[in-house]
A and B are shown apart, each in its own frame.
Chain A
Amino acid sequence: MFEIKNLNASIQDKQILKDFNLKVNPGEVHAIMGPNGSGKSTLAHVCAGREEYEISSGSVGLDGINLLDLEPEERAVRGLFLAFQYPVEIPGVASMTFLKSALSAHYKFNGKKELTIPEFMKLIKEKSNSLNISDDMIKRPLNVGFSGGEKKRNEVLQMTLLEPKICILDETDSGLDIDALRLVANGVNLLRSKERSFVVITHYQRLLDYIEPDFVHIMADGKIIETGDKNLALDLEKTGYNDYIEKDI
């Protein structure tokens, strides 16, 4: 179970998250929607351990462990995966090499025997086919010169390989055309299971047409101000954020 309790975070003395609470049971998909500047991306980065943020109080629990006490890589191997809004380019490091390093770290933590090169290659091939990721793309330097769609597919490929418990998707739909969006959403849907839960952060409702959420939260000014089912997202699409925000005030 993934649970955020009374989380307060700020950057450069500006408070972004204000007593934020969220509880995600295994298998659930939660969508967080909100206007620009509501703190959605901050939430994702604080959970993953970005160090610029000052955390004054609260906890982020995953299966009873407070992730806030851990280094980013320790959170990752324990099962927290952040799909970045802007996946980072790393010149000279082949995607393949990167995936191998990441996978090895996870296997090592879980006490699993490391894959041999042929096993690894087989696994990659299998997983990448379904995401329409070519061999060529895997051999190229990580995210360098990738199109927006390629970058996001690569994020989903990593998610598929690393088998996290909780996936946070940070504006995964941004910069994607409809075909790319469908491809990425399919990849995510294939990963849905009883054990794995998702927090889908998005600005627009359209992603939720493809990844159907169990809960929809509206976030404004650092906290959740409204919670509902998927219809809330549809309403929001019609009325805009202002109605909700004003109502809250």
Chain B
Amino acid sequence: MPAIKETVEQVLDIDVDNYKYGWSTDLESERAPKGLSKDVIKFISNKKEEPEWMLEWRYDAYERFLTMKEPDWAKVSYPRMDLNDIYYYSAPKNTEGPESLDEIDPEILKTYEKLGIPLKEQEFLAGIKNNIAVDAVFDSVSVVTTFKEKLAEVGIIFCPISEAIKEHPDLVKKYISSVVPKSDNYYAALNSAVFTDGSFVYIPPNVRCPMELSTYFRINDVNTGQFERTLIIADKGSYVSYLEGCTAPKRDENQLHAAVVELVALEDAEIKYSTVQNWYPGNSEGIGGIYNFVTKRGDCRGDRSKISWTQVETGSAITWKYPSCILRGDGSSGEFYSIAISNAFQQIDSGTKMVHLGKNTTSKIISKGISAGKSSNAYRGLVSSHKKAENARNFTQCDSLLIGNNCSAHTVPYIESKNKSSIFEHEATTSKISDDQIFYCCQRGIGKEDAIALIVNGFCKEVLQKLPMEFAVEAQKLIGISLEGSVG
């Protein structure tokens, strides 16, 4: 197996140090005192000029958090983080409540330009770039939200969540923590206590959001945690497609990212949520990188509603993430499409939960895991049907691909059926790229590295197809980049 052997050797030489987004921006920032306490929570709440009820809400979450333990069931191992050694709030100075693009620190704009995020509305309007509305979150604050006015014309609210708390308290009160309760899990409780910013989206009844909504998250400052909170509500008969991207600079210490994302789809509404997660994964020795502990959950609250998660996970030192669907409404449906690539010392434990509660609910899971280097890549998923979930249907396909002999792939599905009319099908495979496939491509003139990229892209195809066009291209390139690193 020389071809593979060589590939493996190339994998071992991975240049993960070549993280494309690994520069940091020199900005003066304003921080909360280090550590976690009621005072820090109050500091954050004050900074955000939150109403009293929100502060109380945070305190309540904090009390609950104090009684909880860090979970240890995932197939990841890492030194526990000292939560008192983190800044829970860091904001670039001079960016409090920017009114327009002109008020934003040009350094930040440059950062986003480097990241390839089209922030400048004029470019959109001139039709130069794609039509995407963007909310950009830099460390702890949202620095700019584009296209707000245009969206407001059709009644869509797209703004930083800190703003929504002030401007649309009724909506926030009604829906926040209605999908992910404050005490849902350790990280969700922590997030509820200290979340700093994130996006808020409300789509009014029967409105089809005219453009893709997008948030870019970036951790820039040293020793900061990023705790964003996203809340998306699709009212009856509405539709929205939402994209999320993330990057962070190279730092030797681990940084914590503990986000909570809640989606609510009412009757006949549809939410499509896509993520390309490319947090800094740490270097080739496993030093540094983001701890990505995220709780994402969608509630198909209304009949015939639909929530679809698509994720491309290539970054982070540790990923702990299970975007889930509660299929409450009759005839509702949930989908989860995932590509998870792990390399070097990365550890991924990711998957989904499809909880069938309503009648005639359907779900589909397609998961593609690729492990290389010394990484560990686990799919963990739950499919369950409640007694009343007559005719629930699930189809799950989990495929793992191993590149090299020092990595591992795990599949841990939980399938729970509590009624007779549910039909669940689960399939999983583990394989490697065969020497024959590589040789065949090479014999047609395609270089080894390109051949592997081609084969891996083929392996992931079903998922790539589910991404919005703009993202699909980016994701494909990202796979290429991770593979460039991963196969020499």
Q: Which residues of A contact B (CB under 8 A)?
A: 48-52, 71-73, 75-77, 81-82, 84, 87-88, 90-93, 97-98, 101-102, 105-106, 109, 141-142, 158, 162
Contact = CB atoms under 8 A, between A and B. Distances in A.
B95 interface: no
Interface string B40-54: 000000000000000
A106 B445 contact: yes
A92 B442 contact: no
Nearest to A142: B458
A106 B443 CA distance: 11
Given A71-B442, A73-B441, 15 more contacts: A51-B435, A51-B439, A73-B442, A73-B451, A77-B445, A81-B443, A92-B459, A92-B460, A105-B444, A105-B445, A105-B450, A106-B445, A141-B458, A142-B458, A162-B445
Given A72-B443, A105-B445, A141-B458, A51 B450 contact: no
Contacts of A76: 442-445
Contacts of B446: 73, 101-102, 105
Contacts of B437: 88, 90
B444 A158 contact: yes
Interface residues of B, number: 28
A241 to B, nearest CB: 29
A91 B440 contact: no
Interface of B: 1-3, 6, 434-437, 439-448, 450-451, 454-455, 457-462
Contacts of A158: 444
Interface-central residue, B1, B445, B446, by most chain A CB under 10 Å: B445
Contacts of B6: 51
Given A72-B439, A88-B437, A90-B455, A98 B444 contact: yes
A106 B454 CA distance: 16
Contact of B454 (A72, A93, A109, A162): A93
B458 A90 contact: yes
A49 B442 contact: yes
Nearest to B456: A92
Contacts of B454: 90, 93, 97-98, 101
27 contacts: A48-B443, A49-B443, A52-B1, A71-B448, A72-B442, A73-B443, A73-B444, A76-B442, A76-B445, A77-B445, A84-B443, A88-B434, A91-B459, A92-B455, A92-B458, A92-B459, A92-B460, A92-B462, A93-B454, A93-B455, A93-B457, A93-B461, A97-B454, A98-B444, A101-B444, A101-B454, A102-B446
